[in-house]
A and B are shown apart, each in its own frame.
Chain A
Amino acid sequence: MAIVQRRIGGIFALFFALLLLAAARTLYLGALKGGSLRKAAATQQLSYEAVPAQRGSITDRDGVDLAVSEPAQDLAADPYLIREPLATAQKLAPLLGKPEGQVLRELSQRSGFVYLARALPAQQARAVMALKVPGVTGTPVMRRVYPRGALAAQVLGVVGTEGNGLSGLEYSSNALLHGHTGERRVVSDALGQPVSISEPHPEQAGTPLSLTIDANIQQRAEDVLGAVGRVFSPKDATAIVMNPQTGAILAMANWPQVNPNSPGASSPEAMENRAVGFDYEPGSTFKAVTVAGALQQGLVTPTSSFAIPDQIKVADRTIHDDTEHAEEDLTTAQILAQSSNVGAIKIGALEGPNDFSGWVSRFGFGRRTGIELPGEEIGQVLPVGKYSGSSMGNLPIGQGQLVTPLQMASAYAAIANGGILRQPRVIQSVGSQPRPTPPGRRVISAQTAASLRQMLEGVLAPGGTASEVSIPGYQLAGKTGTASKIDPATGEYSKTAYVASFMGFAPASDPKLLCAVIVDEPQAGSIYGGTVAAPAFGEIMSFALPYLRIPPG
């Protein structure tokens, strides 16, 4: 019995000793080594991962993706942990698509952190991570891809390495497109398998944008501008196609083109959207505004006759018509069709500086159109108080003031739609919410607009300045413009640098489509709006009209 009791006592003592040992160990791990173990556990078991938000896609009016985001990774290395930089560089370089020497230089830096690649496509990044090179880590990010390459590149803009828009719609709508990066808490077991995953801050995807742009019309416009670039070697060119009834932009093309998938390859100037950022003197295309004001005020009618010599003296300046001619009688319609400078100045004189200035302002010149694109210029319009004696010899013919292509297109859209100036727009819907058409503001009466449209038909009729342009079945209307540019060296109008432009719409009686083409400094062949820009207008419209199923008229 005593033996049994002794054994029981021994076992008890053993267990008690083990208990004491366990307590001591617990005390040691919990109190003495607690801090370091907690840190180790946090790094080995617990991790917080950034969950990049999917940037909202940008699609055309038919849902064709123009800008999409795909998962990618930023790859970084800790050069201190790279034991064999040369061998590692040899392995990594082909997968990163970089020269071996460059990767070696990066891996040999005396730094604890160096980027090997930013926004590397996920497949490539996975291949790199599969090598399990110690010291190479990947951070999930989103990569912006423009599937159509250069298509509408200046309108769409580009996204920087940090995922923020840098230009174009990517910049102006960044708050909508960006979304919010989330955070994921992952607890892993000893094998690295996640045993608990939670998202304290779920990521929030960006809102997709649907544009009013039509990818096919945009492509056509860019192709046509490309041809203009090849033939006339201009400094740059831009074209706008819009629905004059709603102000919806169907195409906004720029030349030269840039590839937003590799924005570093292009100059910052090339990324500029000239449709909104190019200030130019509109030249003869502005005569429609001059005539619109006079018609609306009842100062002239389409058949009012004027005696037109081939030059006119205004204050200290003499302004010539484009060609020498004897004095002739021209109606208002003929003045527009033949683009007579003298005639336009005479009509402007009938209005007087105050009224003329009022019409310029009423048609929206001198302020932004309000389109959702960044970098919009306001142009430069002389206040009536600053008019000189010769201003009324310059301004009615579109010289001496600066406008943007979009301002001109908007003004012509007002003429085309019956007299309502609308804010042009390029965003059709945000998410699933369609953007309403802005109400617009009447600038001229429907009757005046109709008279003007009829007069502008004469520009493309025999004897007009763009008579060579026609689209079978469609009645076209428009106005050519050839404006001298100021020579920065002399401060005078250049004899070699011009802006050739054409503003037109169709069908003339009930316009459904408007197209503006502006070619800056055409070098080879011709410099005139009628021969440089008007044919481009014809090419774009001949595609767009049947494509949009606009019946002839």
Chain B
Amino acid sequence: MTPPAAAAPAPAVRPRRAPAPRRAPGPRGPRRVSGPSRPARSSRPASTPRQGRSRGAARANALPLALVSAFEALAQHRLLDRLIRGRTWIGIVAFALIGIVTLQLGLLKLNGGIGHAIEREALLQRQNAALSIENSEMASGLRVETRAAQLGMAFAPTGQLRFLGSRPDEDVAKAAAALTTAARAAAAARTSESSTSTSTSGEPSASTSGEAGSGVPTQEAESSSASSASGTSGGSGGEAQAGGGETAPSGGTQPSAGG
């Protein structure tokens, strides 16, 4: 069998492929613009009944199509293209990975925090219950009476509690008079004290300042006399008072049963 090559010898040199004809210089065609393709114009009139029926379905399909087109446009966006071809994405991916890990850690921490919060809630619940119990026990009348007795107080016996009548005219005048008297007494005491100390040493005497009625500031004297006055008027309005040794005003509107 004779090889065909021997019958017809190949040319020694392969003929060079003819170079492709270069494009004639001129303006390039426009690049494909990404974005949703324009809907084909329909030649059918808009008001045909068939189209009216299918308009709803067409609208329903339009949104997903628009979304797909938008996504496609984004994927083919020049900036994204440049980003992927460059080295920036390495940084972005690294950042995202670190972010995911951080997020996971944060989530774990948060769950741990929830666990602690639940424990704390239980603890607070226990403490709250314990405080409620303690509060209730401490408010017990028996305990209060015992504690009061330790402090030297006595429970007012039956029949010793009485109501003092209020006499607005007399009581107010009495209280005002008591205040005035106390204020005058305090002022007089202060004057005499200052004159005494000036005459003796020229300095205020410390020894007399703490004694009753002499060195007491006016305001204190007033308040003490006011409180005594209000005590005499007896909480007009129906306040119950222990009437052991108290002097109740006679002729009150409420009957005085004690004493």
Contact = CB atoms under 8 A, between A and B. Distances in A.
Contact of B239 (A123, A539, A549): A549
**B-side interface mostly:** helix
Contact of A473 (B108, B134, B137, B257): B257
Contact of A539 (B122, B129, B136, B158): B158
Contacts of B140: 148, 215, 219
Contact of B114 (A65, A147, A194, A552): A194
A546 B258 CA distance: 12
B126 to A, nearest CB: 5
Contacts of A539: 158
B70 interface: no
Interface in A299-336: none
Nearest to B139: A64
B112 A193 contact: yes
B112 A472 contact: no
Given A472-B159, A473-B257, A71 B129 contact: yes
A497 interface: no
A197 B118 contact: yes
Contact of A543 (B158, B239, B258): B158
B147 to A, nearest CB: 15
Contact of B129 (A68, A543, A547): A68
B101 interface: no
Interface string A128-153: 00000000000010000101100000
A52 to B, nearest CB: 10
A13 interface: no
Interface string A194-234: 11110000000000000000011001100000000000000
A140 B240 CA distance: 49
Contacts of B256: 473
B254 A552 contact: yes
Contacts of A69: 129
B120 to A, nearest CB: 13
Given A71-B126, A197-B115, A66 B136 contact: yes
A371 B163 CA distance: 35
B257 A472 contact: yes
A122 B133 CA distance: 14
Contacts of B239: 549
A452 B140 CA distance: 38
**A-side interface mostly:** mixed
B158 A54 contact: no
Interface string B133-156: 111110111100000000000000
Contacts of B135: 64-65, 147
Contacts of B130: 70
B161 interface: yes
Nearest to A198: B114
Given A69-B129, A70-B129, A195 B136 contact: no
Given A65-B135, A472-B257, A546 B115 contact: no
A194 B125 contact: no
Q: Give the top 8 A-B pairs by smallest Cβ distance, nearest first.
A: A473-B257, A70-B129, A147-B136, A472-B257, A194-B115, A65-B136, A546-B240, A542-B158
16 contacts: A57-B132, A65-B132, A70-B126, A123-B126, A147-B132, A194-B112, A196-B111, A216-B141, A219-B141, A471-B158, A473-B162, A473-B255, A551-B163, A551-B254, A552-B255, A552-B257
